[in-house]
Amino acid sequence: VIIAGALSSVPTTSATSSCDVPPSSDWSQDVPGDYIEVSTVGDGGLEGLFGYGTASNSLKPLERGLSTEWSDGTWAGFQGVAVMNNSATTLSMVLMPGYLYTFCIDFSHSGGSAASEAQGDIYLMTDQNYGMYEIEYGSRGFGGPELDMMPVEWRDMATWLPFRDSHAYESVGYEEFSVAIDSTGTAWSSLGLQDSQNRVYHLVLDGWDNSRVADSGATGGTMNVEIMIDVEERQTLPNYTAYMLIGALPLSCIIIPMILHSRYHSAALASDEGEMREVPYLKDG
């Protein structure tokens, strides 16, 4: 079952935030840096296009909530998350099936910043699309294809797309959205015929004018970003149940007529095997 939906934007001061994560999250002996990787978007190469080398392969699956505003020194040396002018910042993490992830993201002015307005763009991407995003960032200023002039079905061959083509939140100061991952690999891995691999997803905080039409441009200064991720475990059906349900209809179209034909044929044979009786013979005269 796939659950993915965007929650409407609410003010920063709202008391009904969907992320119930305190600043001093209980991480015990774990280090948040083992679960998320914060980096500035660089100039991607071909390895990023094919999904290699864009994030550390040693990241552990994110199975607990976190806030980037730690108040107990859990992550020593962590300076917080900021988006520089005409740049982008990325949080890379491993999202797992069986959990509902709710993201609450708040942009604010940095101290002494000349930013006109604390608004940015938020994208959730897979590894391959993030690699294409890096390539576009590296080639900014050289121009590119006008996406609004291209057919929708061709755009995925020319540029990057957000996860499920829906997790893009542009020109926002505060945003909440939720996502649940349905699989860690291919259809073969869900059937147990291939090993599943942890997939890295990238939460991109965009502060430059990318190729999308509705995105916000550079703000002219640095923005601080507070991020809370609420992780909730949920019960899901095994992946193979979807294949069983999909295959049940065509199989029933074959099996049910065979059963009906067999029962009809058996009933006809039974009616032919009647009991033999002697009939008296009467002679004339």
pLDDT of residue 172: 95
Residue 40, φ and ψ in degrees, nearest 5? -95, 135
Those residues with Cβ within 8 angstroms of residue 20's Cβ, 6 or more apart along the chain or in another chain: 65, 230
pLDDT at 49: 43
d(CA 229, CA 21): 7
Bridge partners of residue 181, in order along the sequence: 97
Mean model confidence pLDDT for the chain = 77
Q: Evaluate if pTM is beyond 0.75.
A: no
pLDDT attached to residue 270 = 61
pLDDT tens profile 74-122 = 676 677 899 999 999 999 999 998 899 999 999 998 876 555 678 999 9
Q: DSSP letter for 277, please.
A: -
The CATH class of the 4-233 domain is mainly beta
pLDDT score of 53: 42
Over 70: is that where the pLDDT of 157 sits?
no
pLDDT tens digit sequence for 11-70: 343 445 778 887 665 676 777 888 899 999 975 444 444 444 445 568 999 988 888 877
* 23 alpha-carbon distance from chain centroid: 25
Most confident range, picked from 100-114, 159-173, 237-251: 159-173
Helices (H), 178-232: 187-190
What is the rounded CA–CA span in Å between residue 197 and residue 86? 34
pLDDT confidence of residue 179: 95
Task: Identify the CA nearest to 108 among candidates 22, 213, 235, 223.
Answer: 223
